[in-house]
């Protein structure tokens, strides 16, 4: 059986993440990078994402959502990497069953900036759970927030 066509897969996945997940669309999640090795998410500041209108800083909920989502994508990449001989159906089934079990977010600095990037690194990948640490930076490359999430795998 032919192995997975990753270029195609990541194109489909990016499309799904940006357009088929309504809340991602609402807050403007964009996949800046999506490869077998890494995922980088980008979010542009916009008025509706502001927490406190006096200070024009991002609402903590947007930050938490982006950290959770990015961690989840990185957990999915690690599963995709592992299942390199799976059929598209097996892979889809597996990815669909994944979900966040718990997450910690640390808010480090106020969310000021025109755009923000979120990425992360896999800490643990087992048969049942993955643990990912994710980081949220602004366009000055200041660390705005960091998170650690535990994700159900398969």
Which residues are at the interface with a copy of itself (CB under 8 A)? 20-27, 47-54, 59-62, 64-66, 68-69, 96, 99-109, 123-124, 126, 128-129, 131, 133, 143, 146, 148, 150, 152, 154
Contacts with 93 (C-beta within 8 Å, 6 or more apart), sequence order: none
82 or 124: whose CB is closer to a copy of itself? 124
Q: How far apart are CA 62 and CA 55, in angstroms?
A: 16
Which two tokens mark 82? Answer: 């592992």
Q: How far is the CB of 73 from a copy of itself (least distance, A)?
A: 13
Q: How far is the CB of 55 from a copy of itself (least distance, A)?
A: 9
14 or 129: whose CB is closer to a copy of itself? 129
Contacts with 60 (C-beta within 8 Å, 6 or more apart), sequence order: 51, 105, 107, 111, 145
């Amino acid at each position: 059986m032919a192995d997975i066509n990753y270029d195609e897969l990541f194109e489909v996945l990016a499309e799904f993440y940006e357009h088929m997940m309504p809340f991602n669309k609402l807050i403007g999640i964009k996949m800046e990078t999506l490869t077998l090795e890494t995922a980088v998410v980008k979010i542009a500041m916009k008025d509706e994402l502001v927490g406190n209108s006096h200070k024009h800083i991002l609402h903590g909920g947007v930050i938490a959502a982006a950290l959770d989502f990015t961690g989840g994508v990185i957990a999915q990449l690690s599963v995709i990497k592992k299942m390199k001989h799976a059929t598209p159906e097996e892979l889809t089934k597996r990815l669909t069953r994944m979900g966040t079990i718990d997450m910690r977010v640390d808010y480090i600095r106020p969310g000021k900036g025109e755009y923000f990037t979120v990425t992360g690194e896999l800490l643990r990948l087992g048969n049942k759970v993955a643990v990912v640490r994710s980081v949220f930076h602004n366009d000055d490359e200041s660390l705005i927030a960091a998170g650690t999430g535990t994700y159900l795998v398969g």
